[in-house]
Structure 1
């Protein structure tokens, strides 16, 4: 990690990282701080360090990174517009089997209600270096929602960009947020060109700092049908922001379909894949919805 060589770089973790962060700890020495199971204090300490012009990054399991210390993020970081970078691992249903306390399906919606926040949702594992570099350049608070990239075997990942078109066809436009997009590539590629969706992946929010590309807008206008898929609840979602954006700009669609995380609580808990199916975010469910257009 190139940033670790900077003398002002500081990394805080909330009692996490066993068998994962030892190399970083060795590289950073005293600039690697295990804050213990005290996330609220960790955020306030991070804010204080940032106030002293240190380059501060905070890491935890996603819900413990934004939900437990939300008041400190709001009051100490956002209200002072401090460039603290929060890294939440296991976004969405990433920690599915551990139940609703470990789900992070309202994370970026919650944080984007705060002033000055930026959000990064890498689509592929290969995106991480570029995302860290881009987030590090932003002199505002930022949240990195980490998840496992899921492209098809042998898929060649294109260079990172906030917006990328992953499949081409004459079907409707589908926009997916973050790693969820990778799960749709292979099923879409197997469809005939005449009905194959134009799949786009978005990795940076909000829209005011990452507007839709002209090419995507032209495709949406031509198709008139848009599907948005994200591992996030409907309220505060990217889909909601996009719908408001269209209303504000007088853009009209024949059909707008939102695929989203349906619930925190289910009768049964399972893997991330299982919970995506329960929310109809899996490829089969999305393809079924597309067939009705």
Structure 2
């Protein structure tokens, strides 16, 4: 998604001189096009994320719209206080961009993983978090962030293109339909590709489950989705994020408030480091049961219960 991100920033920067881009000494071989177009509006703050966000808040207060870029854990955890106090409480147009959300940086270990980032940010005042599942969603997301002009966080990963026929409903997108669904799957971010792989590997499952992706936290859940999901009786939530403060927890509150009930409600979420070891992203997904094989097994269990 980083390629799509840099392309839309380059285009918007040519159209809007109020845009500023600050990087925390990252983005090599990815953001040179942005640097060349923006000139002095492209700033390398160095390894000083707290200062980066403080400077961004000051510039936003003076009328600029500022992107702050780093890998996800550095963009979120190192400057959480500055983003909360300087940006969110003043409702300023500063946009954190974290690359490699979830276990994206794999073998580099826990210091480079962001599996609690959405819990940290989605509860702050005035902020909206954006978690595209597909690479071609990034352009529209960035355009919307700039247009809304409010505090935001964009979590980037490695995702395929959106399946044909996807339909936006509130902060969700329906990406796979069945004629008479016996269950619903809601995925957060690029791990949606594992869900689609699980369904494509089984003709039986593929014809019996609807699949949605969630684009925002906190979620905007339309009443029609509450009714549709509740009517199937089975709901599986899949996210590369810890369960506390994640999609399943936030979604369950909205569903309960609207009177939905399910025969089976299952949450698959990041489990941290069960064996104390590090590996690539797929290794950690398997450790957490976020791989296609385990997703398929959970959906098969729905049909037998």
Question: What TM-score comes out, normalization by structure 1 length?
Answer: 0.92
Change (3 A) 1:159 1:199: closer
1:7 maps to 17
Return closer, same or farther for 1:164/1:123 CA change in 2, 3 Å cut-off: same
Aligned to 1:115: 125
Aligned-residue CA RMSD (Å)? 1.9
Q: 1:32 to 1:160 in 2, by over 3 A?
A: farther
TM-superposition CA deviations, 1:113-168 (whole Å, max 9, x none): 2101101111111111111011111232000000100469xx54858774222222
Is residue 265 of structure 2 the alignment partner of residue 256 of structure 1? yes
Question: Relative to total residues, which structure has the larger helix share, 1 or 2?
Answer: 2
The answer (yes or no) to whether the contact 1:166–1:185 under 8 Å persists in 2 is no
Provide Cα deviations, 1:177-219, integer angstroms capped at 9, x if missing partner.
1111122213313433575321111112212xx22462x3333
Q: Does 2:193 correspond to 1:182? A: yes
Q: Which residue of 2 aligns with 1:131?
A: 141
Task: Tell me which residue corresponds to 1:20.
Answer: 30
Give the structure 2 partner of residue 277 of structure 1.
286
> TM-score, normalised to structure 2's length?
0.89
1:52-79 Cα deviation digits (max 9, x unpaired): 0101111000000010111111111111
CA contact (8 A) 2:133 2:191 kept: yes
In 1, are the aligned partners of 2:49 and 2:75 still within 8 Å (CA)? yes
* Structure 1 residue 98: Cα displacement: 0.6
Whole-angstrom CA distance in 1 between matches of 2:165 and 2:55 = 37
Equivalent-residue separation in structure 2 for 1:265 and 1:191 (angstroms): 29
In the alignment, is residue 286 of structure 1 matched against residue 298 of structure 2? no
Unaligned runs of 5+ in 1: none
